[in-house]
Amino acid sequence: MDVARFFADQPPALLWGLGGVLGALTLAVAVTAVLPRLKPGSDFTNLRQRIASWWVMIALLAAALLLGWFAVTALFAVISFIALREFLSLAHMRPEDRLIMLAAYLTIPVSYGLIVIDRYGLYLVFTPVYVFMFLPFAMACIGQTRNYLPSAATFHWGLMTCVYNLGFAAFLMRAPASEPLPAGPAGAVFLLLVATEANDVAQYVWGKLFGRRKIMPKVSPNKTWEGFLGGWAT
């Protein structure tokens, strides 16, 4: 593949956006190198770990966005699998739920398969309608009636959160060519992701600098009103 031609075919706005993110990450690395000298004795391990994880995330997302819709779809399918696995592990599913868990995981290739074949209308109803009806029906058929309603609700909420909702980010890459997007469909996905991550980073920075009033100490002790409002304002 001709590398120069590959980048020449990309929307300039997307390249500028990715370049800006890489510049910001490089600046963050420089700041973490200076901070120990400005504040001797302070521990910046967590900040360095965050920046290292951002480098990995940006590298994966940038590669996927530049390679096109199929790469983005594959990446988000993997993300949905990891997210659903984490969700179900936190829900402490029972051994007898394993068969239904398998069915829940199988919704990932089906959902993202609908994105691959560009069936937006079917994607809209597959999880919230068909899966919503099928999983409780399957649980009843195999005799899983203990804690029936909590289990069914847990599966459905996990699929809606970790598969259905995340899939819409990948579906942005299938925007019709007739839509006048200055950076193409990849630019729409980039804007969504960078806005979300920038808000998270800004909340962290504002919270570290000025955070005093806790929002929910029992749920997330490090979240403060100063960080929350500062992040959104930024």
Q: What is the pLDDT of residues 102-135, one digit of tens each?
A: 999 999 999 999 999 999 999 999 999 999 999 9
| Contact status, residue 69 vs residue 173, Cβ threshold 8 Å | yes
Query: Quick check: is 95 in a domain?
Result: yes
Query: Quick check: is 129 in a domain?
Result: yes
Q: What is the mean pLDDT of the chain?
A: 89
What tens digit of pLDDT does each residue of 149-158 get?
Answer: 989 999 999 9
Give me the domain span that covers residue 157: 70-174
Q: How far is CA 88 from CA 91, 109, 131, 159, 162, in A?
A: 5, 18, 17, 10, 10
Return the amino acid letter for 150.
P
Higher pLDDT, 126 or 148: 126
Q: How far is CA 53 from CA 22, 25, 148, in A?
A: 13, 11, 39
The predicted model scores a pTM of 0.86
Question: Which of 114-123, 143-152, 179-188 is predicted most confidently?
Answer: 114-123
224, β-bridge pairs: 214
Cβ neighbours of residue 127 under 8 Å, at least 6 residues apart? 107, 111, 159, 160, 163, 164
Number of domains in the chain: 1
What tens digit of pLDDT does each residue of 54-66 get?
Answer: 899 999 999 999 9
Query: Quick check: is 27 in a domain?
Result: no
Query: Quick check: is 147 in a domain?
Result: yes
Instruction: Tell me the mean pLDDT in the region 159-166.
Output: 96
Query: Quick check: is 48 in a domain?
Result: no
Query: Quick check: is 204 in a domain?
Result: no
Cβ neighbours of residue 89 under 8 Å, at least 6 residues apart? none
Work out the angle between the directed axes of helices 98-116 and 132-141 (0-180°, nearest 10). 150
Pairwise CA distance, residues 44 & 38, whole Å: 12
Query: Quick check: is 156 in a domain?
Result: yes
Query: Quick check: is 20 in a domain?
Result: no
Residue with tokens 């400005």, as numbered in its chain: 38
What tens digit of pLDDT does each residue of 5-47 get?
Answer: 888 888 889 999 999 999 989 998 888 888 778 777 777 787 7
Pairwise CA distance, residues 217 & 175, whole Å: 42
Residue with tokens 């058929």, as numbered in its chain: 141
1 has pLDDT over 70? no
Q: How far is CA 205 from CA 15, 46, 83, 141, 209, in A?
A: 26, 12, 26, 51, 6
